[in-house]
Amino acid sequence: MRWFSSPDKPLKLEPFVDFEQFEAYRKGDKAFIVDVREPEELVTDGEIPKAVNIPMGMLEQAFVMDSSLFKDTFHVDKPKPSDPVIFLCLKGIRAKTASDFVQEQYKYENTSVYTGSFADWIERKQPSK
């Protein structure tokens, strides 16, 4: 069984999710989360737990991989086109491009964009002053 699937009722994502929605999906393992930033950005800026890094330059290659190669490369099961997939980047622009791309090219029908992306997430995760 896929960790983000529910045998009861499949989760249908809205086209965009905010911080609270994103955190609920992330913490509850209810969506496959793709961070399309470059690996260097994750090193310098940080990363979001449970997000799989598939840089924009690898997106096409990743989504044409068979399930076995995808798992060997990214160490997680490849999402099915009907699975909920949330894309993020630094501010949301590349994430929107990625979401549109996998919808159009690979018929992924349940994608969303975390609108604030990493910049919003890190700002909200900082302790209050």
Catalytically annotated residues = 89
Question: Is there a contact between 104 and 6 (Cβ–Cβ < 8 Å)?
Answer: no
Which residue stretches of the chain are H helix? 19-27, 39-45, 59-64, 67-74, 93-106, 117-125
Question: Is there a contact between 13 and 112 (Cβ–Cβ < 8 Å)?
Answer: yes
Question: Is there a contact between 91 and 116 (Cβ–Cβ < 8 Å)?
Answer: yes
